Chain A
Amino acid sequence: EIVLTQSPATLSLSPGERATLSCRASQSISTYLVWYQQRPGQAPRLLIYDASRRATGIPDRFSGSGSGTDFTLTISSLEPEDSAVYYCQHRSNWPLTFGGGTKVEI
């Protein structure tokens, strides 16, 4: 089973600042990495898949990068509505696994 480690656990920033979230895989997963946003009381929302492909309707302030074992989700200029927990997930093989999440506080 592939273990995904997200850091930091919590990120406290101001509106307009840049957020950089990290996800590290326990083994190489090529670019088979997915990012989700989950606001309180809501279902997760797909942001990025295959490391850097933005899902439909996702603002371009969200971007993803990385390959192999190290991945980054960047929010270029934070908006108040970006307050949420962000999860990474790999789709390299089964079982799929999620990282533990990074909480972004604005």
Chain B
Amino acid sequence: QVHLVESGGGVVQPGRSLRLSCAASGFTFSSYGMHWVRQAPGKGLEWVAVIWYDGSNKYYADSVKGRFTISRDNSKSTLYLQMSYLRAEDTAVYYCARDVIPSTDYSGSGSYDALDIWGQGTMVIVSS
């Protein structure tokens, strides 16, 4: 069964750092682009970042560029989001999500950018 399980959320003071993890199981993790998407309380979805299947390219939302870093360890089937210089507006549920199509099934990009498997989310609260 395909699963994504996020961890690492919690309460953190503004300006501090936090690292989220997403453990994948039930599929060949190294074949898929992976994403982080967040949702502030009562708000809509906001895409945060993508990393290609092989880690060769990463792209970010303007709101987190320079503060957040997405990475992956394909040997551990784990996705990460290192968040630094956190702000109150970063308070949200953070979801990791998988591309619907493995990168081996198409050409031209290392991520397909339509998200079919989502974790349950981990809450991050930035507050003093």
Chain A residues with a Cβ under 8 A of chain B: 1, 34, 36, 38, 43-46, 49-50, 55-56, 85, 87, 89, 91, 94-101
Contact = CB atoms under 8 A, between A and B. Distances in A.
Interface in B92-128: 95, 97, 100, 112-116, 118-121
A22 B121 CA distance: 27
Interface in B43-61: 44-47, 50, 59-61
Interface residues of B, number: 23
Nearest to A57: B116
A48 to B, nearest CB: 9
Contacts, number: 59
Contacts of A56: 116
**What does DSSP make chain B's interface, helix, strand, loop or mixed?**
strand
A45 B60 CA distance: 22
Most buried by A among B50, B61, B100, B115: B115
Given A43-B118, A43-B121, A55 B100 contact: yes
25 contacts: A34-B114, A34-B115, A43-B118, A43-B119, A44-B37, A44-B45, A44-B97, A44-B115, A44-B118, A45-B118, A46-B100, A46-B114, A46-B116, A49-B100, A56-B116, A89-B114, A89-B115, A91-B114, A94-B50, A95-B61, A96-B50, A98-B47, A99-B44, A100-B44, A101-B45
